[in-house]
Amino acid sequence: MSSLWSRTRNAVYGEITRTAMELFLTRGFDATTIDDIAAAAGISRRSFFRYFGTKEDVVLGDLIASGDLIRQALEARPAGEDAWTALCGALHSVKDSAYDDETMLKIFRMVHETPSLRARSIEKHLQWQALLTPEVRRRLGADPADPWDVRADALVATVITCLDVAGEAWTRAGGQVPLEDLFDAAVDAVRPASCEPAAEISTGDPG
């Protein structure tokens, strides 16, 4: 019964998502209301909120699931890889195949042009950081109790920013350049000489 309930819920979630995305991409995100989505999906407004907290979650709700997949991919990377290489490899291994490139371009444009979606995207990526940092810290041999050792947080934040930069560049280019290549170009621009500690981190008053 639990499995049946889960499949039913996933099917309804998927149907609401598809319906909402069609409305967003034809009418515009701000012009589409929750009542519009509920009516088109044949559900009540109350039912909508059983699956989504906001309109933004319809567009970006799967980001958390993607973050967990990246965490799993990161943990599965070879033990000898440095943290930077492992992070980039993990991101490369998780691809969103829910939409074709043309639809993905429309979604990227919508996200970049809608302030509420941009803000929600940043919030979701902060949750990615919380998911990925512990494994990067482990690979660096960092002490989580040391407040001065910010290497893991900095590496994860940098790689996530590179992904955002690549997405914006891909959108500006109208999808004519592979997103993976743009991501690689971004990470190459800021790739550290080594992700391993070259010297002991100072722990104390920097002054």
Q: Which domain holds residue 33?
A: 2-54
Q: Is residue 201 part of a domain?
A: no
pLDDT tens-digit series, residues 109-159: 999 999 999 998 888 889 999 999 999 999 999 988 898 999 999 999 999
Label residue 196 by pLDDT band (50, 70, 90). Answer: very low
Task: Assign 3-state DSSP to the chain and report helix, strand, coil percentages, each to 5.
Answer: 70, 0, 30
Q: What is the pLDDT of residue 48?
A: 95
Q: Does residue 20 have a pLDDT over 50?
A: yes
Among 14, 32, 54, identify where a domain stops. Answer: 54
Same domain, 71 and 147: yes
Note the pLDDT of residue 97. 58
Task: State residue 200's pLDDT score.
Answer: 41
CATH number at residue 7: 1.10.10.60
Kindly state the average pLDDT of the residues 22-41: 96
Radius of gyration of the CA atoms of the chain, in A: 20
Residues 10 and 69 in one domain: no
Domain final position from 22, 38, 54? 54
Q: Determine the residue type at 131.
A: L
Q: Confirm whether 196 is domain-assigned.
A: no
Q: What is the mean pLDDT of residues 189-201?
A: 55
pLDDT at res. 9: 78
Q: How confident is the model at residue 199 (pLDDT cuts 50, 70, 90)?
A: very low
What CATH number has the domain bearing residue 152? 1.10.357.10
147, part of any domain: yes
Same structural domain, 67 and 42: no
Q: How many percent of the chain have pLDDT more than 90?
A: 65
- Do 45 and 130 fall within a single domain? no
pLDDT of residue 198: 36
198 domain residue, yes or no: no
Instruction: Report the chain's mean pLDDT, rounded to a whole number.
Output: 86
User: 135 and 47, same structural domain?
Assistant: no
Same domain, 77 and 176: yes
**pTM of the predicted model as reported, rounded to 2 decimal places:** 0.81
34-77 confidence digits (pLDDT tens): 999 999 999 999 999 999 999 999 998 777 778 899 999 999 99
- Give the pLDDT confidence score for residue 8 in this predicted structure: 79
pLDDT confidence of residue 11? 86
More confident residue, 8 or 35: 35
* Rounded Cα distance, 179 and 81, in Å: 24
